Structure 1
């Protein structure tokens, strides 16, 4: 079967997800995947597929000559669509590109990540599709229509992090792929991590602190003199809320070595030891004693296999996607909210704060056998690495094992979901 993957152009995360899934295909089948996106070529470089496998779509922005805007309001806005300008030449071209690309490349199945408009387009032209269902409360009519029109729903996070607000029929129609981890994640030792820090721009006091870190070991439990390493990870979708907490973080942890990764306001730099940008945060996650970050899907996917304690400060996003992900992580004992963290800091040393956080997370976890805070970081990551991407790999492999989408749907997908449509031939 030939697969089409529609990747939304807001941020690079959707194209990155397509790249990760493509890497799970058997090599002989890699050419069977085509990505449809309007993301610029310089915004993300695919690692697994070639440019010949990408259909670059025209933009879908509103224009001054539109007959109706994208959200025209009552009496003019179809309930099954979020955004639908009328008389927009770019969107008309884009629609032809989609249809022609699917026809020319003999696409059998589309994976839509994400767009209810593309979902409805596919259903209208009788193209089978799977819809990527992100976290959040997506109970609006357009999303419900996109979910109902799909053969199935692909969920890029573990089922244990599903929101209690998600209706049962949506859960049952969902195939949980777990978090997708990148292949060949670097395995850097503590000494190698310190070497990375020495090469990053920092002020004089930070240089002295790095030398102090170099004199100690990675095991914070055994080496009680090493300063705590706190890494703050931020994306470009919004960093101001986390930056606003840096002064409080420094106040309660005055001796910690604080690293800021990502954008930072100039007036906040004096609260951290290093402020920089890196292409891969994995090494910082592995060797930190504490992480502070929002709850974007790609960020949480990177952090989740590690036992590094996590403080979550969700960004304000549509459909409460980060808030509900944060709630799920807290409920599972995988993270603390900012307020929970601050409650651990009253009249205690930094070492006691760290121990209190570990104890709090350990006590919250309902499954002791899989509680990462009962193990050391290296053991936990090693254990999870062997299992990483197993569900997604099984799904992608299944697409290569059937001669038609109908056979795959009836013989593989429906048994996985334990569902049977009311009327099926």
Structure 2
């Protein structure tokens, strides 16, 4: 009787805020030779890869109405456990259901003789700790910003590996230095890595300014009107916009035609700028732990983009666009090339199947 090593079974938790976590999964998944089970409150992408199962979880952030007719908000239900965690609201059925579903899947796989070999968590302190308590090794995807709080420390301590999806040395790494032996700096992960600019070239249209929004929300009350005013304030340019009224799954063609891209400082967007080699004006948005502000500062220090701390006044736009036009950014510093494959290699490093588990003898 010969024992063989099974194909790895990997879980993957995709956070539901914005679209960035799902986009990152879609970039890394093709490089991972494993069967993957995704857990997320988001719906599955239309191009879900083979050997991938997507389990849609209940939301844990929606108000609930009790039998007494009172509407209760999870933010009022001690979600931080006195600062120990980020989000574990008491008595919320969605929160209980989602953790229960994850536990059932992990326990069921183990009972069937093919246990999960690892779980990628992008991102959740609670899921990280819960899955590790269930006996599964965890690969945590880190985020920029100040992550020195106690919940993040717990998650990094519990993880077997921590993926930092930006280049080493560009961001403040104080939160990761204490677990440096676990951290793998893989560079900016972009689904556009290796994608060619359409032919014929050049495709850039002089004066073409493209605004690219995100699904995570913005600080501006009337963004469409603000973009329209910026267009009027910059003679000789023609502005277009993506992500205002409708979501565009693939902005690549529009980005390649833009002389200047105006956008937020989200990780996926910045990595896409790097993959394109774009000239950009970056406006960081308010996010927990100063995530986008931290990334914007890194871009500013490296001279990779023109950074505005908040949405500029109308009369500030001409100078900002002119500065962006004059940039010659060396985006290779963001290390996008091969980053998704490097992230997959970190997962594979942890997800080593037990000999004979789930394999025929």
TM-score range, shorter chain: 0.7 to 0.9
- Give structure 2 stretches of 5+ with no counterpart: 1-7, 110-114, 356-361
Out of 166, 174, 189, the residue aligned to residue 199 of structure 2 is 189
Out of 83, 89, 94, the residue aligned to residue 87 of structure 2 is 83
Q: Which has the higher strand share?
A: 2
Paired residues of 1:294 and 1:312 also in contact (CA < 8 A): yes
Out of 168, 192, 207, the residue aligned to residue 228 of structure 1 is 207
Partner of 1:7: 14
Q: Give the TM-score of the pair, scaled to structure 2.
A: 0.77
Out of 105, 108, 132, the residue aligned to residue 104 of structure 1 is 108
- Give structure 1 stretches of 5+ with no counterpart: 192-216, 220-225, 265-275, 366-370, 373-379, 406-425
Out of 280, 290, 295, the residue aligned to residue 325 of structure 1 is 295
> What secondary structure sits across from 2:85 in the alignment?
coil
Paired residues of 1:314 and 1:322 also in contact (CA < 8 A): yes
Residues 45-81 of structure 1, C-alpha deviation per residue, up to 9 Å, x if partnerless? 3431467x12332332453449x97455889924321
Paired residues of 2:206 and 2:259 also in contact (CA < 8 A): no
Could you say which structure has the greater relative contact order, defined with CA pairs below 8 angstroms and 6 or more residues apart? 2
Partner of 2:239: 258
Distance change >3 Å, CA 19–CA 247, structure 1 → 2: closer
Distance 1:86 1:386 in 2: 44
Distance change >3 Å, CA 218–CA 35, structure 1 → 2: closer
Distance change >3 Å, CA 227–CA 21, structure 1 → 2: closer
Q: Which has the higher helix share?
A: 1
User: What aligned pairs does 1:234-313 form with structure 2 within 5 A after superposition?
Assistant: 234-239=213-218, 241=220, 243=224, 245-246=226-227, 249-250=230-231, 252-263=233-244, 278-313=248-283
Of the structure 1 ranges 391-400 and 17-26, higher mean CA displacement relative to structure 2 is found in 391-400
Partner of 1:391: 342
Partner of 1:17: 24
Distance change >3 Å, CA 397–CA 246, structure 1 → 2: same
Residues 387-408 of structure 1, C-alpha deviation per residue, up to 9 Å, x if partnerless? 45342243355457x4449xxx
RMSD: 3.8
Out of 38, 41, 51, the residue aligned to residue 38 of structure 1 is 41
Paired residues of 1:311 and 1:341 also in contact (CA < 8 A): no
Tell me by how many angstroms 1:169 deviates.
1.6
Paired residues of 1:341 and 1:357 also in contact (CA < 8 A): no
Partner of 2:112: none
1:153 and 2:156 equivalent?
no
